[in-house]
Every structure is written in structure tokens, then in C-alpha cells.
Amino acid sequence: MSEDALLEVRDLKVHFGGKKLFKKSMIVHAVDGVSFSVPKGKTLGIVGESGSGKTTTALAVLRLVPITAGDIRLDDLEISSLEKEDLRKSRRRFQMIFQDPYSSLDPRQRVGEIVREPLDLMDIGEESERDQMVRDLFVQVGLRPELTNLFPHQFSGGQRQRVGLARALSTKPDLIVCDEPVSALDVAVQAQILNLMRKLQEDLGLTYLFISHDLGVVQHLCDHVAVMYLGQIVEQADRISLFKNPQHPYTKALLSAVPKARARDGSEERIRLMGDPPSPINLPKGCRFAGRCPVALDKCHHEEPPLVDRGNGHLASCHLLD
């Protein structure tokens, strides 16, 4: 799927920490060799538990954390090698919306100014037209344009997330990275924002990189899904294939852990995962999931399984599938 890819990430590594005086060096392998691509106008979902490296991957794509190794390409733009002013200018092409609509908007700025700021910074449009552009953006995300003079605290969570969307859309980006954009919202508001995001994608041809721990939301919104565990992608496939036919034991456990909102008939058999993921500082040898895996073989504790195609572009890294 790399031919028409808008975003292509190859062997991305983000390590934190390093040598400390008088102490053993501790390196956190937050992202450890991740590759994926997102076709134009599509959505890639990244799922995983906290600490799996999904947010760090998103931040690395936006160049908001230092990259240890790897290439990131957005269309014709080599994001991973951009520096300083070139990087700043290119940011108009990739924007972000955040998880917490309360802390991601400046409480002392009027929401109109918040949405206008990227236009000023990136010098988009004529200065005299920018206020009108802001009002148009407000309409686009379903807010009344006369609300531009209010402050963030006068809005509800859902409305604030709409402001965040308007701000992200203001520079007409190709890619929007969404880090848990609906997990802080009530379910009724969540549905409104998800529908808005889909409509904007259809209207504007946006490409989303969608980070979430909510598998129901990911299944609804994403075209492709990557499952991360301890800094690596363990399974990656298109939406139908991944949910219908999960291959990796971790993916299966994750799917079976989701409570289903339907009547119980007592037939459900849940895969119980014990414990927590190991620390990304002292990575286990072999498969990183082996310690919690209900079906681990002896081999899994010694040899790291490669991420290989199991047919039709469905990638999974597990010795049991060989």
C-alpha cells in the first residue's frame, strides 16, 4: 500500500534517556522499529495499552520528540530530516488534535484568536480576510460563528473539541494526528465528534493518524489498524481483516477484554491476560509479549518473531503463525 501513501514511516525508533553520571545508563525504548504507511484520504488507527508507544509514535511523526532513527515521509516531504525554519513552515501540512479539550486550549485566549493564530503564524491568506476564514472554520466544525469572542471555559467539552478541530483545520493540513480525541468526552458527545471527523474527511480528503485505546471507536473510524505492544507493531491489517480474523495472541486478548454492551448468555469465554506489560527499560529477550502470552512456546522466550505478511497484507509477528 506504499504507492499512494501520503504518510510513510520506516523503522522509526524513539529512545529516551541515556548515560547518567554514577548511574547505569537507562534507555527507555518507547518506540522500537515501527513501520507503517497511510494512504491519502484514509485513517490508520494505532491501538495498544498505555505505555505501548502509540502516543510517542504520533509525536515523532509530528517531530515533537527527537527521533533516534528512521524515516518519516509525508507525500514529497522528508519530515524526519527537516530542521528549524523548514520544519516550522512545513508544520502547516500536519496538525494535531489532542485528548484533553480542557488543557489543550489557552484559557486566556478567545477561541477565535486560538483558531486564528495558526493563520497569522503561517501567514495564510490576506490579513483582512482571516477573521472571515475563522468564522468559516467555525461553521465547518458546527459552531456558530458569533461564538468567536468567547473564552474556552464558556464551552462544553464537545464544543472545545470542535474548536481544537477548527484550529487543526485552519492551515489546510494533509494529515491530522488525533491522539485519543474522543476519550475524554461523554458517549453522546463522542458520537457527534466522530461523525464530524468522518464528514470532514469525506469533504476535505483528510488523512488521519488516529491513536486510541477504544477498539470500538477504532473499528468504526479506521480503514487500517496497527496494534502496538511495548514499542513495536505486533499486528497490522485492514479493518475487516484485523477484527474478523485477528492473528496475534495479544490482539485476540485485547479484543476479548472489551466489554460487549449486549445481553449476556453465559457463553463468552474471555482470554485472561495476567499482569502488566514489562518495563520498556529492561526489555525481555525474545518476543516482548511472551511473559503474558497464554500460548507462548519455549522458542518465544529466546527468539524475537519478525513482523511478516500472513496473506493479503495482514502483518503479524508471532512464532505460532509460522
Partner 1 sequence: MAAMLTIKDLVVDFKTRAGNARVLNHVSLELMNGEILGIVGESGCGKSMTALSVMGLVPSPPGNVTGGSISLEGEELTTASGKRMREIRGGIISMIFQEPMTSLNPVFKVGDQIAECVLLHENVTKAQAWQRAVEMLTKVGIPEPEMRASSYPHELSGGMRQRVMIAMALSCHPRVLIADEPTTALDVTVQAQIFDLLKDLQKDTGTAIIMITHDMGAIAELADRVAVMYAGHIIESGPTNEILTNPQHPYTRGLIACVPHLEEDPSEIRPYLSEIKGVVPSLTDLGKGCAFADRCAYKTPVCEEEQPLIEAIAEGHSVACYNVKYVVAV
Element (H, E) at 118: helix 111-122
Q: What's the min distance (Å) between Cβ of 272 and partner 1?
A: 7
Q: Which is nearer to partner 1, 190 or 317 (CB)?
A: 190
Count of residues of this chain found to bind partner 1 when the rule CB under 8 A is applied = 44
Q: Using the rule CB under 8 A, is 178 a contact of partner 1?
A: no
**Binding of partner 1 by 153 (CB under 8 A):** no
Q: Is 187 in the site for partner 1 (CB under 8 A)?
A: yes
Closest C-alpha to 251, from 48, 42, 32, 81: 48
Q: Which of residues 202-241 bind partner 1 (CB under 8 A)?
A: 213, 215-217, 219-221, 239-240
How distant, in Å, are the alpha carbons of 5, 77, 178, 232, 272 from that of 71? Answer: 14, 11, 20, 16, 37
Which grid cell is 169? 483545520
What's the closest the beta carbon of residue 166 comes to partner 1, in angstroms? 18
What is the rounded distance in angstroms from the CA atom of residue 275 to the CA atom of residue 104?
33
Cβ 72 to partner 1 shortest distance, Å: 27
Site for partner 1 contains 156 (CB under 8 A): yes
In whole angstroms, the minimum distance from the beta carbon of 282 to partner 1 comes to: 15
Q: Give the span between the Cα atoms of 31 and 229, in whole angstroms.
A: 10
Considering the complex, what minimum distance in angstroms separates the CB of residue 117 from partner 1? 27
Q: Which of 242, 207, 206 is nearest to 224 (CA)?
A: 242
Counting Cβ atoms within 10 Å, is residue 194 exposed (0-12), middle (13-18) or buried (19+)?
A: middle
List contacts with partner 1 (CB under 8 A). 49-50, 156, 158, 186-192, 194-195, 198-199, 213, 215-217, 219-221, 239-240, 243-244, 253-264, 270, 272-276
